[in-house]
Amino acid sequence: MKKFPLESLYPDVMKNNMAAPVPGETAISEEIYLDIAERIVRHLVQWQHEDGMLIDPYSPYKIKGEDEFFSSARLAGAIGLLIKAGRCGDLRDSGIKATDCCLSNLNKYFLSPEFWIKELIYSWEALADFIPSEKRESWQRSLTGVKPEKYYNCIKHNYTNNQTAFVILGEFLRYKAGLTEDISIIDKLLEQQLGNGLFSSYGLYKEPEQPLTYSFVVNQQMDFLLHAGYQGRFLDELKEISRRAGFTAMLMQSVTGQAPFGGRSNQYHFVEGHLACFFETRADFCHRNGDFKLAGMYRRSARNALKSVIPWISGQETPKLMKNKFPDRIAHGIDSGGTYTVYLALTASLFATAYHLAGDSIREVPSPAETGGFVFELQEGFHKIFANCGGHYLEIDTKAEVKQRKEATGLGRIHKYSVPGELLLSSSIVANPDYTIGTGIELPDRNLALGPCWKNAEGKEFRLADYSDEIERVQLNIIREDADKTVFSVLYEGNFNQINRIRENYELTPEKIKYEFELEHFRGAVFVTVPLLETNGLERTEIKLTSHGFELWLNNHAGIIENPEASSVTLLKDAALANKTGRYKTGMISGNSVTISLF
């Protein structure tokens, strides 16, 4: 079998795994998948209208029509999956009404019903035996009458994006349910996707602008297709894509269990729902093929994804849509198309799906995210570097979509096992972002990541975080990769205001992270910019200035960022800068290095 770029890490990950200083089981059963889904569904049905439509009470966008159908279909799917698992029998009528309103509009391609099909199949399978025969026959006529070329928006307009994956999986599930005999469209679309080179050598799907979230969306559905029994012309290609993407996804997963940030729709909990489904089908595949250790790693990765969302869904007064605690009504961090009911209903459906995909008799094995000892980069347009060692996890965006207002360039995520992900940084901060900033929160006007800042002779300030197209080349140099110490450097080459080369050096151990940078031939004042969480939307932090840096406290957890040789430590008086996970102040430490300790 041909190797792919991360194949060389496999032996080392397995070796580190053998001596993993983490428990052998998460003790999180598949029933928790249903608990999460049920909590969300019971919260959402309060906004379901009598006609079955689920209406978003907080949407910051003008209602366009399709959003309500996305929400309603996903509510129907989640209820169907819960009923199939023996839960929520009292919500049967809600599921029936939601299904009715979607089926009556199934032929309106401009509403993108390709997103509804798999959800309506879930509902059909769970509810068809509980409805009058006349309604059952009506549902069956609607579901058997689907004509992909006429009904699906992505086919009508020849889109090449994640919508196609919804058609592929939805049509196969329709076939499995006995609602169509013609599945020729599946191989036709797969030929288009594979022929256009839309899967990277890492197995990841290359959505336009290549947001990582939509890699997981598509990869999960392709693996679900295999799990459901696809045996078409592209079976071998899909198996290899899933093999590569599954391993890549495990290595990208944070020590907190969270999915990586990057591009559109990140920080929503539905992304961990896709990860959980993907890892569960990968676990089942490996187990059936006798690779019990790899199966256990996938099972553990799935449960860690689930574990990461429990505090946000079950531990809050109301289920949270994404990884912040701002009031739902202010609609903070919302991407267009990703409103409260749309993506919260999807979260419920995905975690309920994960329950039904979870195979039996698979023992957990510590995951790569937990054992660490590796560094790798995603090329082919994803421009990411990931490092994991000693319970620390870093995600670096080496050429962020600054002008597209997605993220800032540089070190954008600093996580440690058992420490709240937002304490230091879960994603970078970009000026005037293309997602909503909540009512009453000031729009950020600066880019911010942890990284280099310098001033020219006139005192004008520059940050690596501001650059994107100016970056011509990035080179990763790995010096050491071990579970107890990982060392690497990142060299940026380009035009950085009369500077052509910037080098960042990283050293990770279980105790701390050491960071420093070098600006080639620059003799002016240099600083490290430090994002400092002010609030996650509910709790406020305590920020302390010390003689060498900053202490940041949140609910008995701390982050200490310092440089013993710093001549100045400044907390900028600028307005706080917001990203999806919180509101941040900017700290500046003079010099070109800091150490970071989280506990």
- 134-189 pLDDT per residue, tens: 999 999 999 999 999 999 999 999 988 999 999 999 999 999 999 999 999 999 99
| Distance from C-alpha of 441 to C-alpha of 142, rounded to nearest angstrom | 46
* Position 23 in a domain: no
Confidence band of 310 (pLDDT split at 50, 70, 90)? very high
Give me the domain span that covers residue 273: 9-17+31-369
Domain-terminating residue out of 316, 342, 369: 369
Q: Which of 369, 397, 413 is the last residue of a domain?
A: 369
- Is position 3 within any domain? no
Nearest in space to 78 (alpha carbons), one of 326, 319, 284, 359:
319
436 and 319 in one domain?
no
Q: Is the pLDDT of residue 329 over 50?
A: yes
pLDDT at res. 12: 73
Are 556 and 585 found together in one domain? yes
Domain-located, residue 26: no
Question: Would you say residue 408 lies in a domain?
Answer: yes
Do 377 and 361 share a structural domain?
A: no
My answer on whether 36 and 137 are in the same domain is: yes
Q: Is residue 2 part of a domain?
A: no
Please check whether residues 348 and 396 belong to one and the same domain. no
pLDDT of residue 17: 62
How far is Cα 379 from Cα 308, in angstroms, rounded to an integer? 27
User: What is the reported pLDDT for 4?
Assistant: 78
User: Which domain CATH number covers 240?
Assistant: 1.50.10.20
Region 373-386: mean pLDDT is 94
What is the rounded average pLDDT of the residues 231-237?
Answer: 97
Query: Quick one: pLDDT at residue 1?
Result: 47
Record the pTM.
0.96
Listed as own residue / partner, the contacts of 38-42 with beta carbons closer than 8 Å and 24 or more positions apart are 38/82, 38/87, 38/88, 38/348, 39/313, 39/314, 39/319, 40/78, 40/313, 40/319, 40/344, 40/345, 40/347, 40/348, 41/75, 41/78, 41/79, 41/82, 41/88, 41/91, 41/345, 41/348, 42/88, 42/91
Q: Is residue 145 in a domain?
A: yes
Give yes or no: residues 252 and 393 share one domain. Answer: no
Number of independent structural domains in the chain:
2
**Banded pLDDT at 98 (limits 50, 70, 90):** very high
Residue 134 lies in a domain: yes
The mean per-residue pLDDT over the stretch 313-328 comes to 95
Q: 331 and 432, same structural domain?
A: no
Amino acid 288: pLDDT: 95
Residues 414 and 321 occupy one common structural domain: no
**Nearest Cα to Cα of residue 276 among 527, 37, 538:** 37
The domain that holds 439 is classified in CATH as 2.70.98.70
306 and 403, same domain (yes or no): no
pLDDT attached to residue 363? 92
What's the whole-number mean pLDDT along residues 387-404? 92
| 337 and 466 inside one domain | no
pLDDT digits (tens, 9 = 90+) for 30-67: 999 999 999 999 999 999 999 999 999 988 665 556 78
Domain boundary among 352, 369, 386: 369
Instruction: Tell me, yes or no, whether 289 and 407 share the same domain.
Output: no
Diameter of the chain by CA atoms?
Answer: 81
* 542 within some domain: yes
Q: Are residues 384 and 236 in the same domain?
A: no
